[in-house]
Amino acid sequence: MTAHPYLAAGAVLKDRYEIRREIGRGGYSVVYLALDRELGAEVAIKLLVPPPAVAQVARERMRREVQAVRG
């Protein structure tokens, strides 16, 4: 059985990112392949979907991941 998608293919975020398909899923997140309409390039979009009890911990983990990628 396939898990329910949070974003459907074709959905557009921030009038910029067009969702193509889901490419991964973890405990608190779903990763999608998307088209960045401004750059004309494919990008990965990570959507946090933690249960409310751990949302703050998940946000901090994501902040650290973003900082590591930027570095």
Q: Look-up: residue for tokens 């930027």?
A: 70
- As a whole number of angstroms, the distance between CA 27 and CA 12 comes to 24
Q: pLDDT tens-digit profile of 11-70?
A: 999 999 999 999 999 888 899 999 999 999 999 999 988 677 777 777 788 889 889 988
